[in-house]
Amino acid sequence: MKNIKIHTENMYLYYGSKMALNNISIDIPENKVTALIGPSGCGKSTFLRSLNRMNDLIDSVKIEGNILLDGINIYDKNIDVVSLRKKVGMVFQKSNPFAKSIYENIAYGPRINGINNKSELNDIVEKSLRNAAIWDEAKDRLHDSALGLSGGQQQRLCIARTLAVNPEIILMDEPASALDPISTSKIEELIVQLKENYTIVIVTHNMQQAARISDNTAFFYLGELIEYNKTKKIYTNPDKKQTEDYISGRFG
């Protein structure tokens, strides 16, 4: 197994007094795709959003336990959340490009980091769009509004936008759930390519998708991590009955 990128230890998360995550301990390896599966409301998205402290935006959330990124506890009080989020990028369920041009969408991240040099920005935009496999579709309309793109293109644009900040980890929250099958397969191809350079954690509803693209799979149920193992193992010979039931479609 490769290096451990993210390591959580006895992690609990509460919404007010309601416990949403119960004692999660998991190791997420570098340069792999880790899939989080489970029925709706099982806490997988909540867990994902804890990894770049997106849950900080919700007032009532309280987190206990440790989440270590490269051995550093990201909930430590000295952590610079803004830098953390540069390091841990995120792609959302609903594609959410800004109401700006395609170019400006990609350049947004670099710009807020102080890059204003035109040629440097051009390079980053092209590189990011190429890496997100949308360059060919977008190169002639870089200065058109990003809202004119199709849903699948928008989502790849959002991935490109995340890549432009040069993160080490990319969190994906059901990135293909709102897309048609062709767009979905494009996104899946893209994810498999990206893992060479990035560590990817993906939440998905779609079990076939998890099976196709992930190296490891974690099964969440009612806020608990039921089983975590190599994807192959989970899908062929799970240890727990609940996992088997879920995968075989008996509930969820």
Partner 1 sequence: MMLQKFKRDAKGFIFEGLTLASALIIIAILVVMLVVIIIGGKDMFTWEFLSTFPTDGMTKGGIFPAIFGTAMLVIIMSIAAVPFGTITAIYLTEYAKENSIIAKSIRFAVRTLAVIPSIIYGLFGLGFFIKFVGTGMDNVFLGGQLKWGQPNILWASLTMALLTLPVVIVSVEEALKTIPRELREASLALGATKWQTIRKVVLPGSFSGIMTGTILAVSRGAGEVAPILFTGAAYYLATLPGSLSDQFMVLGYHIYIMATQSANVDQTLPIQFGTTLVLLLLTFSLNFTAVILRYRIRKKRIA
Partner 2 sequence: MNKFKSFIKRLIGKFKEKKYNSTDKIDITNKRFRWSDFIAEKIIKSVAFFSITIIVLIFIFVFRESFPIFNFGAKEKPKTEQTSDSQEQYGVPAAEPAQQEQYGVETTEPAKQEQYGVETSEPAQQEQYGVQTTDDTTMVENITPVEETASGSTHDDNKQAVKTLITKEWQPVSDRPRYGLIPLLIGTLKITIISLLFAAPLAIFAALYTAVFASKRMKELIKPTIEMLAGFPSVVIGFFALMVMASFLQNIFGYDVRLNSFVGGIAMGLAAIPIIFTITEDALTSVPKTYYEASLALGATKWQTAFSVMLPAATPGIFAAILLGIGRVFGETMIALMATGNAAMMGINPFESVRTLAATIGAEMAEVVFGDTHYNVLFLIGSMLFIFTFAINAIAEFWVKGKLMKKIQGK
- Footprint of partner 2 on this chain (CB under 8 A)? 69, 72, 74, 76-80, 82-84, 86-87, 110, 113-115, 124, 166, 168
Q: How far apart are CA 124 and CA 117, in angstroms?
A: 11
114 belongs to the binding site for partner 1 (CB under 8 A)? no
Interface segment toward partner 1; rule CB under 8 A; list 10-18, 82-90, 123-131, 198-206: 82-90
Residues 6+ apart with CB under 8 A from 219: 37, 38, 225, 226, 227, 228, 234, 238, 240, 242, 243, 246, 247
Q: Which is nearer to partner 1, 174 or 215 (CB)?
A: 174
Q: Which does 208 bind (CB under 5 to 8 A by kind): partner 1, partner 2, none?
A: none
Q: Which is nearer to partner 2, 40 or 83 (CB)?
A: 83
The region that residue 106 occupies, defined by phi over 0 for left and psi between -120 and 50 for alpha, beta otherwise, is alpha
Q: Which does 89 bind (CB under 5 to 8 A by kind): partner 2, partner 1, none?
A: partner 1
Candidate residues 109, 152, 175, 238; the one interacting with partner 1 per rule CB under 8 A: 109
Distances (CA, A) of 182 to 138, 158, 189: 18, 17, 11
113 belongs to the binding site for partner 1 (CB under 8 A)? yes
Backbone angles phi, psi at 195, to 5 degrees: -70, -15
Interface segment toward partner 1; rule CB under 8 A; list 24-32, 107-115, 188-196, 234-242: 107-115
Q: Where are the alpha helices (DSSP H) in 196-236?
A: 207-213, 231-236
Q: How far apart are CA 228 and CA 130, in angstroms?
A: 33
Q: Which does 79 bind (CB under 5 to 8 A by kind): partner 2, partner 1, none?
A: partner 2
Interaction with partner 1 in 117-176: which residues (CB under 8 A)? Answer: 158, 161-162, 165
Instruction: Give least dist CB 217 to partner 2, A.
Output: 27
Cβ atoms of residues 146 and 97 within 8 Å: yes
Tell me the torsion sign for CA atoms 175, 50, 68, 1.
negative
Distances (CA, A) of 104 to 88, 111, 122, 141, 171: 21, 9, 10, 12, 22
Number of residues in contact with partner 1, rule: CB under 8 A? Answer: 24
Q: Which does 57 bind (CB under 5 to 8 A by kind): partner 1, partner 2, none?
A: partner 1
Instruction: Give least dist CB 63 to partner 1, A.
Output: 17
Q: Which residues bind partner 1 (CB under 8 A)?
A: 52, 54, 57, 59, 82-83, 85-86, 89-90, 92, 94, 96-99, 108-109, 112-113, 158, 161-162, 165
